[in-house]
Structure formats: structure tokens, C-alpha cells
């Protein structure tokens, strides 16, 4: 399988959001990545189900909803109704992770688990057979435009070994500081999905930049 590209709308122009959505629709991107922040789990606030339901009316590709929030279980049905095609929750935010993942899947949505940079991948050993993908944060979550954390490569390699050893079909997604320079190495390490925000939306030709990321 060729790797997937998921532009992060957190870096889009919210005064011209429809224009940026149309650009992603036209491009070779595979998903829309949507970062939901509550100002508690991370030090920022972004948007919720209301905005996502509006995005879903224009988006022609799956909505990859990344919940950077406390108590995500309270809102899973709301995000499902808003149009999420994939929902990922943080390992660090879930008291009963297996239950949360099971609820996401019961809603007919692909389920992912997210790890912050400091969280070791070995903690996913028991939940890995249940998830469709794992999102590794390669920056500390909460803000776009941060510098890529180099230890992410070793985490990708370790996670890929776990996936293979368990016979899992889980994909590896990486979010934070992804650009044209490090994308090839991320793919070589075992990444299946690249999330790119500033790299895409600050580009003078974002469609071409997405194409270049697809070629990584």
C-alpha cells in the first residue's frame, strides 16, 4: 500500500476554509486531519463537532478526527454524527482504553490510539490487536509549526516490529513537524500516514506539495 497523506486543517486559513477544503479535495491527499483541542488536555482550543459537521458537507475524503481532549468518551457519538470517518483518542487521556476503542468501532468508525512523544510504544501491546491505526505525535501536542522530535524514528521502528510480530494490520500515522525533508525517512522507518499542516498550507503551491509528499 502506498502511504497516505492527511493535511491538517488546523493550519488552514479559517477565513477561507471552503477554499482550502476544495484544494484538498482536488489534490492527491487521502484524508482530512482534524485536531480537536479542549484547552485542558492540551494548552489550546480549536473546534468541535459543529465545525466538523460543516466541513463534512464539503469534504470529499474521510475525516480523520484526532481528539486531544479529556474524557473523550463523552463526545464520541457527537463526532460520529458530525461525519468522522476515523477517530483517534490519546492513550494518556483514556482510563478504560479498550472500552473507548470498542465504542468507536461500534459506531462504524475506524479507531486509533495516539501516543504523546514521551509515551513508550510498548504500552500498546495489549490494545494493538483492537485498533485500526496508531498515531505517534512527533511534537508535543497543542500547537502547529513545532520542531520534529528526532526520537520519533525509533518509536516508529519499534511499533512496526510490534505490529508485524502480532500479525496486526494497524497503520502507523505520524503528526508533527512533517515536511518534504523528513518525509522519505519517515516512510522508510515504517510510517503509513503522514499528517502535514504548515508544510501544506504555507506552501505557495499546496497541491504540488501534497504530490511531493505522496512521492516520498
Task: Render pLDDT for 4-24 as a digit per residue (tens, 0 to 9).
Answer: 999 999 999 999 999 999 999
Count of positions (residues) in the chain: 216
Active-site residue set? 35, 175
Q: What is the dihedral of CA 19, 212, 85, 82, to 10 degrees?
A: -20
Q: Round to whole Å and give the CA distance between 133 and 140.
A: 19
Is it the case that residue 143 has pLDDT exceeding 70? no
175 close to 136: Cβ distance less than 8 angstroms: yes
Is it the case that residue 144 has pLDDT exceeding 70? no
Q: What percent of the chain has pLDDT over 70?
A: 98
Average pLDDT over residues 178-202: 97
pLDDT at 1: 66
Domains of the chain by start residue, with CATH? 4-214 (3.20.20.70)
Q: What is the pLDDT of residues 58-71, one digit of tens each?
A: 999 999 999 999 99
pLDDT at 214: 97
Amino acid at each position: 500500500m502506498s502511504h497516505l497523506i492527511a493535511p491538517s486543517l488546523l493550519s488552514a486559513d479559517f477565513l477561507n476554509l471552503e477554499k482550502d477544503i476544495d484544494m484538498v479535495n482536488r489534490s492527491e491527499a487521502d484524508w482530512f486531519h482534524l485536531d480537536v483541542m479542549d484547552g485542558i488536555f492540551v494548552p489550546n482550543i480549536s473546534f468541535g463537532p459543529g465545525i466538523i459537521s460543516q466541513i463534512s458537507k464539503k469534504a470529499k475524503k474521510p475525516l480523520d478526527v484526532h481528539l486531544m481532549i479529556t474524557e473523550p468518551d463523552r463526545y464520541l457519538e457527537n463526532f460520529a454524527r458530525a461525519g468522522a470517518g476515523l477517530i483517534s483518542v490519546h492513550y494518556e487521556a483514556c482510563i478504560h482504553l479498550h472500552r473507548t476503542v470498542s465504542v468507536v468501532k461500534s459506531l462504524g468508525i475506524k479507531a486509533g490510539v495516539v501516543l504523546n512523544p514521551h509515551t513508550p510504544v510498548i504500552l500498546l501491546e495489549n490494545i494493538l490487536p483492537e485498533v485500526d491505526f496508531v498515531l505517534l505525535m512527533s511534537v508535543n501536542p497543542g500547537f502547529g509549526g513545532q520542531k520534529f522530535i528526532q526520537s520519533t524514528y525509533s518509536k516508529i521502528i519499534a511499533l512496526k516490529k510490534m505490529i508485524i510480530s502480532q500479525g496486526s494490520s494497524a497503520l502507523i500515522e505520524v503528526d508533527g513537524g512533517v515536511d518534504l525533508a523528513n518525509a522519505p525517512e519517515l516512510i522508510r522507518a515504517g510510517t503509513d500516514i503522514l499528517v502535514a499542516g504548515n508544510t501544506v498550507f504555507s506552501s505557495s503551491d499546496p497541491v504540488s506539495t501534497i504530490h511531493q509528499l505522496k512521492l516520498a
